[in-house]
Amino acid sequence: MLEILYQDDYLVAINKPAGLLVHRSNIDRHETRFAVQLLRDQIGRHVFPVHRLDKPTSGILLFALNADVARQMMAVFVNGHVRKRYQAIVRGFVELKGSIDYPLQETLDRMSDRNAAEDKPAQAALTHFKCLARAEMPFVTKRHSTCRYSLVELVPETGRKHQLRRHMKHIFHPIVGDTTHGDGKQNAFFRTYLGSHQLLLTASDLHFPHPVSDALVSIHSPPDAEFVRVIEQLNWQTND
């Protein structure tokens, strides 16, 4: 059963588990479970996803309950009226707060984007970040006597593909568990010593004007059990 975070006559939001695809994709042809299918069967209604959430990312995923509302909600996203917040564990000690203003070249998937143009110019991309806490583990690496990590809040102003993962890599603080844009040695450390095999990135908050009533909707999702388990194993120090 998917955890339902919000539902009315027009919209429903779930807490998507890490590793679950939103819908069927040529990239993962072997997969047989999808959020669209599971939610449809659970509530007995057709559902229409209105935004993306990468397969390894957990957290808030919003659906419309009919095609007209889906189009209206997509316009809310396109017009920049949606505020999204994420939490992530990243390598190293990040600054207390800052912004990453770094254009991103569109990344193409070999299967699903095989007909897309490969020479598109880089698109503007902006992410704000804030350090919530820092942790240091007594494990020696080739360069340092300890391993350092930060728990961060990430607020994207744009919605480019893999934006948060690519932006954190750009400032040399990749998200732990990212097998595409991350640090392989740190990922291996978390698998071996902490038993963590997932991307430590979760969509925690979503705020938007309702496409029908125009009332402000605020949805919060706590980190999943695996994210919490990892947090509890690290020696965190807050910035207070």
User: Do residues 84 and 59 lie in contact, with contact meaning Cβ atoms separated by under 8 Å?
Assistant: no
Element (H, E) at 75: helix 67-78
């919000």: which residue's tokens? 6
List the CATH number of the domain containing 79: 3.30.2350.10
pLDDT tens readout for residues 207-240: 999 999 999 999 999 999 999 999 999 988 876 5
| pLDDT digit string, tens, across residues 113-129 | 555 556 678 999 999 99
Domain count, the chain: 1
Q: Which two tokens stand for residue 41?
A: 């069967």
Q: Cβ distance 61 to 13 under 8 Å?
A: yes
Domain span holding position 225: 3-112+120-238
The residues annotated with a catalytic role in the active site are 54
pLDDT of residue 153: 98
Q: How do beta strands 236-238 and 126-137 pair?
A: antiparallel
- Per-residue b or e along 15-39, where b marks 16 or more CB atoms closer than 10 Å to that residue's CB: bbbbebbbeeeeeeeeeeebbbebb
The pLDDT value recorded for residue 146 is 85
Q: Give residue 143's pLDDT.
A: 72
Residues of the chain under the 70 pLDDT cut: 25-29, 31, 108-119, 140-142, 239-240
Q: What is the pLDDT of residue 145?
A: 79
What per-residue confidence (pLDDT) applies to 232?
94
Amino acid at 42: Q
- pTM attached to this predicted model: 0.91
